[in-house]
Structure 1
Amino acid sequence: MPRESELAAWLRLTLAPGIGGETQRRLLAELGLPDRIFAASPATLARTIPPRQAEQLFSHDAQGEIDRALAWAAEPGNAILTLADAAYPQRLLEAPDPPTVLYVKGRVELLNTPALAIVGSRNATPQGESNAMAFATTLADAGLTIVSGLALGIDAAAHRGGLRGKGSTVAVIGTGIDRVYPARNQELARDIAAQGAIISEFPLGTPALKENFPRRNRIISGLARGCLVVEAAERSGSLITARLAGEQGRDVFAIPGSIHSPLSKGCHKLIKQGAKLVDDARDILDELGFCAAAERKSAAAPQPDTETAKLLACLGYDSCDVDTLALRSGLTTERLYAILLEMELDGRIASLPGGRFQRIGP
């Protein structure tokens, strides 16, 4: 980790308005570490950046922001990594636009472990969330760190699955590291900070701005050896992460779904474009050269009774309304609702908006 004075110079470089990541890296390449940049003469700087940018770099007073960041970094469990740090994620250095600094809360060492990104819809189906958690748990048990974006839906399920496994999880957020968005994930964020890691490239206090979330996607894909898309609409932001993963030379995986579900359209599109179709976490482990961890010992799930098994067969794997189920099963509406309630309490199905039901698991 850099000394406080060195870190202050790195922060000053990144906090200057109008000096983006590309310009920061150009200055570092031409002049060396930030201390040397700020010691350079105007004539020297003019050979690398326009005079107006040089003026912004020197005139902006960021001392208050720097002091707050240094105080935050001094707290237990917090760190600020720079491009020059040995602990900086090495896979990000392979990406075309690595962040100059990273704010980290939690286990810094996870940033240099083998990882897989899992992304998908914020408005996921119960089956999609179940798939994300199950895949994440198996992959984490095999030694992979699960990387995602702390959004609702698939992201949150993937993080929870990663926390259940041996490899843990890393959340890449689109706000300042001192904020949690969405607020509904506050408890999950605390768990990740305690057992995994939360990272951000944005300064402390940065609010939830919509343009920052697509930007953080390159970090999600950049940290990982591959990217799994669980559920995604045709224009989902998850497809941006998948595209970036492909551009970064990472493997892209997708779980297929119902041809009738809008949340399967994005995954099917990726598969048509060459993403690897997967229906088991072992497919990913084989592709990445990992050996699957031994399966956890657990009690066998109770087998459904004849009537429940029949209704599960009638339900299939697409969502279905009660009227259709009545036609398929021959059961009365009253009896159907009674069985559906028992199945929902047993975790075999989930109720969806519009009076529809969907099977969960096999």
Structure 2
Amino acid sequence: MGKKQRRMEVFDARARYYPSAKLTLEELSYWIAFSRVMGIGPVRFQLLLDHFQEDVASAWHAPSYELTRIGLDQRTVDSFISQRANIDPAHELKRLDRLRIQVITWKDACYPPLLRKIDYAPPVLYACGQLTEDDLHYSIGIVGTRKMSSYGRQVTEHFTKELVKGKITIVSGLALGVDTVAHNTALDNGGRTIAVLACGLDTIYPPSNYHLAKHIVDSGQGVLLSSFPLGIKPEAGNFPARNHIISGLSLGILVTEAPPKSGALITANSALVQGREVYAVPSSIFSNSGAGVNKLIRDGAHPVTEVSDILEHLNIHTVPLPDTSVLREPENEEERLVLALLSREPRHIDDLIRDTELAPNIVTSTLTILELDGLVKQVGSMQYVRCT
């Protein structure tokens, strides 16, 4: 990736391991060890489970001739034999315990049921923080560009805020831009969020989001999740697999803003392959930063302008719909004049001063009061939008 990654300190995770009724710690150590082996993915791991009657320790120690006899090609077998010589299953378990990183396997009841249904679901997941029932059943992924416009920020904040009001968990990838805004907005509004990483959980990438990652765990409002074991760096080839997990955890994917070659479109494509819904917020036809979203709509994604469009389409009626109560009315003539000039399109304070014909200090103080009351919001350098 070229940038220095920040090492993770011990987070205040609520528990070290999810209880497993079927795996002892010794058995778990071999599941972890297999997750470190390049070339043994979900399909080959299932082949080993079937042949060795789920005795993963026997599969780990099996001789070369037995591994080839069950259907693994010689190149894969040779690679496995070479890699396992440098992996100590018990040591891997101790490293995870020291960092309070939890392990979730196919055998665990808390393995996300939506993820379990997809092709190539990872046999092992690593987690900091604890998943809840709502996380497992009512999650929606929000993804988009790393370089947001003010419109993209507004849209992401608006949909995230309203989704968490409906008790929906927000899934994203901890990247800069839309991902960061989605995670932060969920936390700020008392919601839950899952950040899926493209590296081991002993590394936070991008490093600028270390404090966000820590807040997700320490607040008790979310989880850091990865299919990659400790020590794996955020290399470019890992991100499609990360995106595959984001969509696999989610009932649907919402793309709020994305240019034509955004990685968010890979996540959307993964969702389609997995049979999940894809939602897209329309952008201006003149905006390159939203051209990828408009193409998604043209190709069949569901265009959405309100959160109810998503919840109703997913037939989610077991959670409360967003609060649609009206905020307070303007309390004086200055507030009325300023609010009348604001909409969802950003306006600079100089325009407001000119059009209201009020003194600059009056407009500034009025905007401050309106912002504190949640009626307006600053979205850029002295640019304001109306929240109602």
User: Please, what TM-score do these two structures have when normalized by structure 2?
Assistant: 0.78
> Who is 2:379 aligned against?
350
Q: Distance in 2 between matches of 1:300 and 1:77?
A: 46
> Who is 2:266 aligned against?
240
Instruction: Please identify, of 184-193 and 30-39, the stretch whose mean Cα deviation from structure 2 is larger.
Output: 30-39
1:254-279 per-position Cα deviation (integer Å, ceiling 9, x unaligned):
11122221122111111111111111
Q: Which of residues 244, 253, 260 in structure 1 aligns to 2:286?
A: 260
User: How big is the shift at 1:350?
Assistant: 3.1
Q: Which amino acid in 2 is paired with 1:300?
A: R
C-alpha change, 1:349 and 1:50, in structure 2 (3 Å) is: same
1:152 paired to 2:176 = yes
User: How big is the shift at 1:173?
Assistant: 0.7
Q: Distance in 1 between matches of 2:279 and 2:203?
A: 31
> Who is 1:308 aligned against?
338
> Who is 1:50 aligned against?
73
Q: What do you get for the CA RMSD once the two structures are aligned?
A: 3.3
> Contact 1:135–1:161 at 8 Å: present in 2 too?
no
User: How big is the shift at 1:306?
Assistant: 6.0
Q: Which amino acid in 2 is paired with 1:116?
A: I
C-alpha change, 1:222 and 1:49, in structure 2 (3 Å) is: same
> Who is 2:10 aligned against?
none
Could you say what secondary structure the match of 2:203 adopts? coil
Q: Distance in 2 between matches of 1:65 and 1:188?
A: 32
Q: Distance in 2 between matches of 1:247 and 1:138?
A: 27
Gaps of 5+ in 1: none
User: How big is the shift at 1:49?
Assistant: 0.7
Q: Distance in 2 between matches of 1:74 and 1:49?
A: 32
User: How big is the shift at 1:351?
Assistant: 3.2
C-alpha change, 1:71 and 1:41, in structure 2 (3 Å) is: closer
> Contact 1:129–1:157 at 8 Å: present in 2 too?
yes
> Who is 1:16 aligned against?
37
How many equivalent pairs are there?
Answer: 351
Q: Which amino acid in 2 is paired with 1:28?
A: L
Alignment of 1:159-198 (within 5 A): 159-165=183-189, 168-194=192-218, 195=220, 196-198=222-224
Instruction: Please identify, of 45-54 and 240-249, the stretch whose mean Cα deviation from structure 2 is larger.
Output: 45-54
Q: Which of residues 252, 255, 260 in structure 2 aligns to 1:226?
A: 252
> Contact 1:127–1:358 at 8 Å: present in 2 too?
no
Could you say what secondary structure the match of 2:254 adopts? strand
User: How big is the shift at 1:341?
Assistant: 6.8
Q: Distance in 2 between matches of 1:117 and 1:170?
A: 9
> Contact 2:106–2:124 at 8 Å: present in 1 too?
yes
User: How big is the shift at 1:141?
Assistant: 2.4
Could you say what secondary structure the match of 1:91 adopts? helix
> Contact 1:9–1:35 at 8 Å: present in 2 too?
yes
User: How big is the shift at 1:127?
Assistant: 3.1
> Contact 2:32–2:93 at 8 Å: present in 1 too?
no
Instruction: Please identify, of 24-33 and 193-202, the stretch whose mean Cα deviation from structure 2 is larger.
Output: 24-33
Q: Distance in 1 between matches of 2:185 and 2:308?
A: 15
Q: Distance in 1 between matches of 2:94 and 2:49?
A: 25
Could you say what secondary structure the match of 1:157 adopts? helix
User: Please, what TM-score do these two structures have when normalized by structure 1?
Assistant: 0.83
C-alpha change, 1:337 and 1:166, in structure 2 (3 Å) is: closer
> Contact 1:146–1:170 at 8 Å: present in 2 too?
yes
1:91 paired to 2:114 = yes
Q: Distance in 2 between matches of 1:109 and 1:350?
A: 33
Alignment of 1:321-332 (within 5 A): 331=354
Could you say what secondary structure the match of 1:108 adopts? coil
1:221-258 per-position Cα deviation (integer Å, ceiling 9, x unaligned):
00111111111111111011111111111111111122
User: How big is the shift at 1:103?
Assistant: 0.5
Instruction: Please identify, of 113-122 and 36-45, the stretch whose mean Cα deviation from structure 2 is larger.
Output: 36-45
User: How big is the shift at 1:216?
Assistant: 0.6
C-alpha change, 1:165 and 1:62, in structure 2 (3 Å) is: farther
